[in-house]
Structure 1
Amino acid sequence: MGTEHTGRPMPDGPSGTVAWWRAMKAFPGNHQRWTSFLAGVLVGVLVVVLVGFLRPLLSDSSWEDGELVLLSGKDESAGGQRQELIEEWNHLHPDHPARIEEVTNIADAQHSEMLARAGGDGDPVDVLNLDVAWIPEFAEGDLLREYPESRADRGAFLDGPLETCEYDGKLWALPFNTDAALLYRRSDLAPRVPSSWTSMLAAIANVLEGRPKPGTVPEAGFVTQLQGYEGLTVNALEAVWSAGGEIVDDDGDVHVDSRQARDGLRQLVDGVHSDPRQILPASLDFSEQPSTSAFRAGRALFMRNWPLAYRTLDVPAEPGTRPVEFAVSPLPWPSVLGGQNLAVAKRSSHPRAAEALIEFLTNDRSQQLLFERGGLAATRRVVYEDTRIKQVYPYADELLKAIELARLRPRSPHYALFSEVLQTEVHAMLISGSGPPADLGDRLRAALRGKRR
């Protein structure tokens, strides 16, 4: 089930077209005539392909003139691929140029700044790149324009990412990139993929209490993100799901007082305070990058993290050394579905042009480039079927499985307050070693109504 990987570098050679062109340049005979002929063939093919591809995106009279502003957090793609796409758009549409305006990448501050700008503070924006959990809040707050169903191309997108674009029976955005957590494991010490939290703990006990080679014993079994931020909310939800429980069900009802939910939260608490350590205690101060560094340094046997960690682990920590031996698989329980969606701001004075920009950034080709070159998980199924993608990212099939199994966070306009309350209480539990407070359910119900209890 898992995809084994032991430090083999990802393919970065030329695509088939480029490799063919290089080979033909070396063809014996009249080099100049071959070069001219092949150049003409390639140009002809490219013209046919590009005309067919670009025809739906060519400017039309309904597009409003003027610069388009896309408000976004930091571009975490390798090589700044989002900016590359914007520059390509600008080359194709000089009368409708676009630029990315970045806000802070700290989740809570980013949320506040996005809300303020969408609500009228500062210069107006046209497109908002929103965390998938924020769509209900921005839609309910009348900060977004409803997206035209006729332009959604629903059949091309993965179901989960597209569902995050909906709220109250309406479509508000298109999926830009998606995310689902993966289970990374030291394949040299844990060759088998665990099927549950319990089987993962058994594998941890086997290594920590066994007699492996000297110097190979990790400090703990599992490293994850338990710092007091959104990552802790995600981990709490996943822990409860792993125990068969719910914190909030699909109807918005809170069930954190159920036995299964309390068992799931107890797993996290017990894991941090167990001996030997099931969960690396330093996880209480970890976000994504420190978790990756700890796993890379051999401090943990398993790691829960997003796909972006793969490209860090796949290269040596130091020149002349080998990368850590690892393999990836979907979590043995549902992951929270992450990602970002592109929506047209209600205050935009270029709504039709903004829709066209969104459709350009989310089409098949753009999604292919964002994944292949940038490492951002695609929202369109066809990308995962591409041979090149599977060469560059050997875990692509595992990631697709994880995305299809992933679940949405509570769909509430007051999700930010809900998350704040949950992560505050769970972090206190992790530090003290105690169980959930008696009033946690009431506090979460109040938060989902937008109130602090």
Structure 2
Amino acid sequence: MTFVAGNLTGAAIAACLFVFGPLAGPEELESGELVILSGQDDSAGGQRQQLVTIWNDTHPRNQARIVTLPEAADGQYAEMVNRAGDGGTDIFNLDVAWTARFAAPPSGRRLIRPIDESLLAERPDQAFMTKPLATCRYADQLWALPFNTDAGLLYYRTDQGLKPPFDWSKIRAAGTKPGFKATWTGQLNSYEGLTVNFLETVWSLGGDLAVAPDGRVTLDLAKWDEAAKLLTPSRDAKPGLVLPDSVSFEETSSRSAFRDGQTMFMRNWPVAYRAMRTAEPAGKPFAFDVTRLPGDSVLGGQNLAISERTTKPRAAQALIEFLTNERSQRLLFDNGGFAATRAAVYEDEAIKQKYAYLPRLREAIDTARLRPVSPNYVTFSRVLNERVHEVLVGRSPALPRDLADQLTRALQGR
């Protein structure tokens, strides 16, 4: 069943009520408002809010409300940690890399509570794709359910004679054609996005990151230096591989630069595809497509977790189940462009016919790699992206020779 993006009223609401359930939630659910703390919804039509609207029309005893936080992942993380102790949040929409931190914070009391698997309508390992579900588990417990997944894609202009697949040599060989400021852009500001972009670049060059159970990091510093050099914009005025402004870009700003014709290539998440398709520049033909990155992607996405301090844990879990069920996942992708966490969406023939890039997205997710799993991951990421950013902006000539030791101390909480 398909609904158009936009406000769900009249017949559309009636259809949703028929599909999603009765007018009142089960009696055993605690009554009261449910507050979801979440990052900004970048989907076409605000699809997360549309799903909450459906829930509210079918569960009058448990009206839900989304509280939106700053767009960048680092800002979201800090605000969620600050609000975790005030009891005003029932559900966290967490970045997939934060599960361990909220389940077992170094400072003590956990911030989320485990999912009660005995109450779930479906077995998670049968309902969800393997890698997105893996980000919901920590220390042999299930702490969340996967709301949407993510894998980086390479966006390219199809009106410039560019043909995939692309490695870095082919991207570089494309040069900078008249009218473009550079060849490629990504998310290179000093935040989580740079950690993601940099790891993907390291992997594309044959480098790696190994983390032992005790948090000790080993890496091939030569490959890491090569990745930092590749992502460093040219210091002269001539157009080069990397758009100089990329060192201050996050997801939305890099998307705007690509859409406005500043570069021929862009690394971004899948939701950018639909956002650009629905907001093409007025009077400017904009021909683009997506393919796999030069190497594996970092696995991204968001997971829904129950706040440790909620007074409505059963109602919160019921809302999480609703938001992650198969029908909701179809709507999130079909109307909003979020990558679904259930394989059934990628196998739906009607959706495959509608979105030709779906198999490429599925392949990117299936081959994506997880970031280090640790309660101290955020500190690790901050150290990594700060050291890389110093190179990209010219404050340092190279990555520090003791970078592996710095990252080890971060993961070990020292």
User: TM tier, shorter chain?
Assistant: 0.7 to 0.9
Cross-structure match for 1:167: 138
| Dislocated runs of 4+, deviation >6 Å | 12-15
Q: Give distance in 2, aligned partners of 1:295 and 1:301.
A: 7
CA contact (8 A) 1:255 1:261 kept: no
Of the two, which has the highest radius of gyration? 1
> Aligned pair 1:130/2:101, yes or no?
no
CA contact (8 A) 2:124 2:133 kept: no
> Aligned pair 1:145/2:116, yes or no?
no
> Aligned pair 1:83/2:45, yes or no?
no
Change (3 A) 1:136 1:316: closer
Cross-structure match for 1:108: 74
Report deviation, 1:155.
1.2
State which drifts further: 248-257 or 145-154.
248-257
- Mind listing any 5+ residue stretches in structure 2 that lack a counterpart? 6-13
Matches within 5 A, 1:41-120: 50=18, 54=21, 59-118=25-84, 120=85
Identity percentage of aligned residues: 48
> Aligned pair 1:196/2:167, yes or no?
yes
Report deviation, 1:442.
1.5
Instruction: Give me the TM-score of the superposition, normalised by structure 1.
Output: 0.80
Report deviation, 1:273.
5.1
> Aligned pair 1:156/2:127, yes or no?
yes
Change (3 A) 1:317 1:239: same
- 1:88 alignment partner, SS class: helix
State which drifts further: 362-371 or 258-267.
258-267
CA contact (8 A) 2:92 2:304 kept: yes
Report deviation, 1:254.
1.4
> Aligned pair 1:286/2:254, yes or no?
no
- 1:62 alignment partner, SS class: coil
AA paired with 1:321? K
CA contact (8 A) 1:337 1:407 kept: yes
Name which of 284, 305, 308 aligns with 1:346: 308
Cross-structure match for 1:3: none
Higher helix share: 1
AA paired with 2:206? G
CA contact (8 A) 2:208 2:220 kept: no
CA contact (8 A) 1:72 1:103 kept: yes
Query: What CA RMSD, in Å, does the superposition of the two structures yield over aligned residues?
Result: 2.8
Report deviation, 1:176.
0.5
- 2:300 alignment partner, SS class: strand
Cross-structure match for 1:299: 262
State which drifts further: 143-152 or 359-368.
143-152
State which drifts further: 179-188 or 247-256.
247-256
- Mind listing any 5+ residue stretches in structure 1 that lack a counterpart? 1-11, 16-42
Change (3 A) 1:253 1:272: farther
Instruction: Give me the TM-score of the superposition, normalised by structure 2.
Output: 0.87
Q: Give distance in 1, aligned partners of 2:365 and 2:413.
A: 30
- 2:194 alignment partner, SS class: helix
Q: Give distance in 1, aligned partners of 2:125 and 2:302.
A: 17
Q: Give distance in 2, aligned partners of 1:14 and 1:387.
A: 18
Report deviation, 1:426.
0.5
Q: Give distance in 2, aligned partners of 1:59 and 1:89.
A: 9
Q: Give distance in 1, aligned partners of 2:270 and 2:96.
A: 17
Aligned pair count reads 395
Deviations 1:236-278 (A, max 9, x none): 1111111222234474431235433333333323x64597612
Matches within 5 A, 1:1-400: 50=18, 54=21, 59-118=25-84, 120-121=85-86, 123-141=87-105, 142-150=110-118, 151=120, 152-202=123-173, 204=174, 207-208=175-176, 215=178, 218-249=180-211, 251=213, 252-269=215-232, 272=234, 277-314=240-277, 317-323=280-286, 325-400=287-362
Change (3 A) 1:160 1:282: same
Report deviation, 1:58.
7.0
